[in-house]
A and B are shown apart, each in its own frame.
Chain A
């Protein structure tokens, strides 16, 4: 199956414009996000990952260039149409509420339900499908504050799946998790990308895991933003430029970041 392009960024520059002028954070960003692909976004703190994700999700307007989502400029979508193309998973804590896992995942169906939000049998089967794809059906009746961080992260992914969008964007989904849960979460994302033919983009600081599990990577450093397969990125030595720090370098043979002088 040929992977079709879901989202592309053309000569994008991100940042904030104010009365004093433009504060450019990332420029000349060209991306092509395809279906059936797991893509990781890596870069040092403060390099502009969040700004890029905000721009790609249409929350923030680009300073120049454009974001094309399914052949249409992302600005030309109304909120409901956009919600049927793009779903997100955030790091921020959920406000306190009595929502059960099922109700939380079912909220993902909102772009499809009527004015009062009534779930049709089709909606309910989509929710159950999302729960079983993420292997959390057994949690359905639990309150969302009763489950562990790892389980909650899966619930939020299930919510995004229920939203039934070709593109899912996750903001640092592996923070707060231990190694085992990190691995199982990223494996889950990889499985979802191939089984449901979705394009899944996530930002992360877990470089080793991202290198091993991603189909493609977006690497941001202070000069440029490069998108390629992990193999090519290793071969071209792009990863070495990730940190502006002499004591960390990338070992091509081991495919690992190594500390000098230890």
Chain B
């Protein structure tokens, strides 16, 4: 495919991103006209004061969270798929999401066993985030220790899956011993939510996503070499162990912090890189990196727009929507192209 055609698609995606962003802010239980959003965002005022509050305190933080989460999860999926040369790899496979869930499960479900000052702290937003990051970095640390011992990348994938099942099993045990109220709270967290983020949270998420994405960008060149397999990549002067470490760290930072704030969001990390690969028909990570970033943001904005059910007071869990919308897309693309590419 020619560069010119790629550039046209990229411009199209940028326009689509802007449209989705505005639509996402506009639609919800209260519809706000796009004109008012643009004037409010560009320093002016919306016609109604209540719209102003809705935009700045609810819709805009949620839209920005959606963009960050979409970008971060998609990129970590792209990295995993190339590193493991497996089209089914995603941020979940290293057990990072499960690790984060385990951390959160411990504080929500185990709050009853803690002294009251501790449980109060851990049940606050910060405590949950802290527990989640602790959980995912614990799994990451375990994976890293094991990966230093293992030469085979596939073995690391399996170790990640094992840690994931292990964490899930412990969560299962914890839920068995917890009260209905605690269980409900944990279930709501695990359904995922992009809303209710303070600007402070978004700043933290923004910084961690920036670090993770920056580390990923450093890996673009070695990732291209890895398309030929490990041995060729090494013969091209790639320090394979260093690259593998960088990729795992970048993924954990992205997946860990995102899961902490927004809950375990399924499917995005797996599907978006495939959508990018099928649109651009390439394996070059220069193109895939940027297209996956854009598509990740677009897809999650669309999912979130649907989740807030325009015109009604309901909000559906984002985790369910990403799978309901996304799984058929991947099946459709797969059937049409008949081939999954790494």
User: Of A86, A94, A107, which contacts B225 at CB under 8 A?
Assistant: A107
Question: A99 interface residue, CB < 8 Å from B?
Answer: yes
User: Of A83, A97, A99, A103, which contacts B235 at CB under 8 A?
Assistant: A83
Q: Is the CB of B227 within 8 A of A87?
A: no
Q: Is the CB of A97 within 8 A of B227?
A: yes
User: Of A87, A88, A117, which contacts B221 at CB under 8 A?
Assistant: A117
User: Of B221, B234, B283, which contacts A97 at CB under 8 A?
Assistant: B283
Return chain A residues, CB-CB under 8 Å to B234: 59, 79
Return chain A residues, CB-CB under 8 Å to B281: 98
**Closest Cβ neighbor of A109 among chain B residues:** B236
Question: B249 interface residue, CB < 8 Å from A?
Answer: no
Question: A65 interface residue, CB < 8 Å from B?
Answer: no
Q: Is the CB of A98 within 8 A of B283?
A: yes
Q: Is the CB of B237 within 8 A of A79?
A: yes
Count, chain B residues at interface, CB 8 A: 28
Q: Is the CB of B286 within 8 A of A116?
A: yes
Q: Is the CB of B236 within 8 A of A90?
A: no
Q: How far is the CA of A107 from the CA of B227 in the complex (A)?
A: 10
**Closest Cβ neighbor of B282 among chain A residues:** A98
Least CB distance from A184 to B in Å reads: 24
Q: Is the CB of B231 within 8 A of A90?
A: yes
Least CB distance from B227 to A in Å reads: 5
Question: A95 interface residue, CB < 8 Å from B?
Answer: yes
Question: B7 interface residue, CB < 8 Å from A?
Answer: no
Q: How far is the CA of A87 from the CA of B239 in the complex (A)?
A: 15
Q: How far is the CA of A116 from the CA of B225 in the complex (A)?
A: 12
Question: B44 interface residue, CB < 8 Å from A?
Answer: no
Least CB distance from B121 to A in Å reads: 43
Contacts of B275-289 to chain A: CB distance below 8 A: 277, 281-284, 286
Question: B341 interface residue, CB < 8 Å from A?
Answer: yes
Q: Is the CB of B227 within 8 A of A83?
A: no
Return chain B residues, CB-CB under 8 Å to A84: 237
Q: Is the CB of B221 within 8 A of A116?
A: yes
Count, chain A residues at interface, CB 8 A: 30
Return chain B residues, CB-CB under 8 Å to A83: 235-237
Q: Is the CB of A99 within 8 A of B283?
A: yes
Q: How far is the CA of A110 from the CA of B227 in the complex (A)?
A: 13
Q: Is the CB of B341 within 8 A of A97?
A: yes
Return chain A residues, CB-CB under 8 Å to B237: 79-84, 110-111
If A96-B341, A98-B281, A115-B218 touch, whether A107 touches B236 (CB-CB below 8 Å) is yes
Question: B232 interface residue, CB < 8 Å from A?
Answer: yes
Q: How far is the CA of A152 from the CA of B85 in the complex (A)?
A: 20
Return chain A residues, CB-CB under 8 Å to B283: 97-99, 103
User: Of B227, B235, B286, B339, which contacts A88 at CB under 8 A?
Assistant: B235
User: Of B85, B228, B231, B286, which contacts A107 at CB under 8 A?
Assistant: B228
Q: Is the CB of A104 within 8 A of B218?
A: no
Question: A92 interface residue, CB < 8 Å from B?
Answer: yes
Q: How far is the CA of A111 from the CA of B224 in the complex (A)?
A: 13
**Closest Cβ neighbor of B285 among chain A residues:** A117
Q: Mark B232-267, 1 if CB is under 8 A from A, else 0.
A: 101111110000000000000000000000000000
Question: B112 interface residue, CB < 8 Å from A?
Answer: no
Return chain A residues, CB-CB under 8 Å to B224: 107, 110, 117
Question: A37 interface residue, CB < 8 Å from B?
Answer: no
Q: Mark B328-342, 1 if CB is under 8 A from A, else 0.
A: 000000000001111
Q: How far is the CA of A79 from the CA of B229 in the complex (A)?
A: 16
Return chain B residues, CB-CB under 8 Å to A14: none
Question: A125 interface residue, CB < 8 Å from B?
Answer: no
Return chain A residues, CB-CB under 8 Å to B221: 110, 113, 115-117
Least CB distance from A24 to B in Å reads: 22
**Closest Cβ neighbor of B341 among chain A residues:** A98
Q: Is the CB of B236 within 8 A of A95?
A: no
If A113-B221, A116-B286 touch, whether A86 touches B227 (CB-CB below 8 Å) is no
Return chain B residues, CB-CB under 8 Å to A79: 234, 237-239
Return chain B residues, CB-CB under 8 Å to A104: 228
**Closest Cβ neighbor of A114 among chain B residues:** B221
Q: Is the CB of B238 within 8 A of A110?
A: yes
Return chain B residues, CB-CB under 8 Å to A96: 339-342
**Closest Cβ neighbor of A110 among chain B residues:** B236
User: Of B220, B232, B340, which contacts A90 at CB under 8 A?
Assistant: B232
Q: How far is the CA of A163 from the CA of B237 in the complex (A)?
A: 11
**Which 6 A-B pairs give the minimum distances between C-beta atoms?**
A83-B237, A117-B221, A80-B237, A97-B283, A98-B283, A110-B236
> Can you offer 21 A-B residue contacts whose CB atoms are under 8 A?
A59-B234, A79-B239, A81-B237, A83-B235, A83-B237, A84-B237, A88-B231, A88-B232, A90-B229, A90-B232, A92-B231, A94-B227, A95-B85, A96-B342, A97-B283, A97-B342, A103-B282, A103-B283, A107-B228, A111-B237, A116-B286
**Additional pairs, 17, CB under 8 Å, beyond known A79-B237, A99-B227, A107-B232:** A57-B235, A79-B239, A84-B237, A87-B235, A88-B231, A88-B235, A90-B232, A94-B227, A94-B228, A95-B227, A96-B339, A103-B283, A107-B228, A107-B236, A110-B224, A113-B221, A163-B236
B residues adjacent to A (C-beta < 8 A): 85, 217-218, 220-221, 224-225, 227-229, 231-232, 234-239, 277, 281-284, 286, 339-342
